[in-house]
Amino acid sequence: MIGERGWHKAGWLLLFLLPGVGGLLIFTVLPILASFVLAFFSWDLLTPPQFVGVKNFADIFHDKEFWAALRHTLLFIAGYVPLVVVCGLCMALAMNAALRGIGILRTLFFFPVVSSWVAVALLWSWLFNPKYGLVNYLLSLVGIPGPGWLFDPNWAMPAIILTSVWKDLGFVLVLFLAGLQSIPVDYGEAAALDGAGRIAQFRHVTLPLLAPTTFFVLIISLINSFQVFDQVWVMTEGGPAGATTVLVERIVRHAFSYGEMGYAAALSWVLFFLVFAATLVQFRVQRMGNFDV
């Protein structure tokens, strides 16, 4: 296109590419490769690294705490994903038809989204305080004795789930709104003309046409929730009594509290594998359910 040959072209290319690609190589590609190699070693940063082959991975397989963290992570996903998707969709549906004031509402829904997880986690730690928190107070007003939330092994994860749903609702809402607004109004009208009631309209027109958006929201939510960390670290640090340990929390612990860099690297690859597998499964399921994705 632009008259350029040899050195001249190489010079321009270098100028444009070097910062971006250079940075990517140093801070992403190389660490990824290094992490892969590291997973086959045992290293505490003080003594020289020792090659241990697949021992780290074998240890993970036999590690009770790993399986517990996996269970808790899956529990989080099972609670968080459906809740945030359903609530987000309901809000989007409600907002899509309303005409006045939705700008203000959407702004409000975004406050949690732009706030940091730490601030939100601390806020909800306070709200969920069993004795002095607002949640239990409001529950007591309707005669329900509130549980120990973050201090109760059975209620800590639900508290974390609710906090996470609250924070991400605005995000899911915006995605669904965008999806809803791209559905032509005529489809619904045509269905109404054929005698379809609101619910039938929703089931047979809206929902199917929303499928790509729903799929996108599910994938993103799934990938993100496998990596849940900030709120867990701040609200419970994996407690009480290890009831809310999650995969990334395990990685951080092994890297920093136990000084087991190789084990932590191996764990992070197991995490990658799980996320990858889950995403693949979702793509398969999507393809099975749709004929024209």
Partner 1 sequence: MSSRLWPSLLRYAALITGGLLMIIPFWWMLVTSIKPPGSVLTVPPELFPRQPTLESYQRVFATVPIGRMFFNSLVMTVVSVACQIATSAMAAYAFARMQWRGRNVVFLLYIATLMVPSQVTITPLFILMQRLGWVDTYPGLIAPSIVSAFGVFLLRQAMLSVPREYEEAAVLDGATHWTIFRHVVLPMIGPALATLGVFATMSTWNSFLWPLFVTRDERLMTLPVGLALLHGRYTTEWSMVMAGAIISVVPIILVYLAAQRAFVRGVALSGLK
Return the residue of 78, 86, 94, 144 that touches partner 1, per CB under 8 A: 94
Answer yes or no whether residue 99 interacts with partner 1 by CB under 8 A: no
- Of 53-61, 144-152, 163-171, 280-288, which part binds partner 1 (CB under 8 A)? 163-171
Residue 17 or 291: the one with the smaller Cβ distance to partner 1 is 17
Select the span of 58-66, 75-83, 94-102, 187-195 touching partner 1 (CB under 8 A). 94-102
- Count residues binding partner 1 (CB under 8 A): 91
Contact range with partner 1 by CB under 8 A, out of 59-67, 71-79, 121-129, 149-157: 121-129
Give the binding range for partner 1 (CB under 8 A) out of 55-63, 65-73, 77-85, 131-139. 131-139
CA distance 293 to 13: 38
When asked if residue 91 is in the footprint of partner 1 (CB under 8 A), the reply is: yes
Residues 231 and 18 sit within 8 Å (Cβ to Cβ): no
CB of 154 to partner 1, least distance (A): 22
Q: Which stretch binds partner 1 (CB under 8 A): 76-84, 143-151, 152-160, 245-253?
A: 245-253
**Shortest Cβ distance from residue 188 to partner 1 (Å)?**
13
Using CB under 8 A as the binding rule, the residues of this chain from 184 to 243 that contact partner 1 are 198, 216, 220, 223-224, 226-227, 229-230, 233-234
Q: Which is nearer to partner 1, 104 or 291 (CB)?
A: 104
Q: Which of 79, 81, 168, 180 binds partner 1 (CB under 8 A)?
A: 168
134 binds partner 1 (CB under 8 A): yes
d(CA 208, CA 290): 9
Q: Does 54 bind partner 1 (CB under 8 A)?
A: no
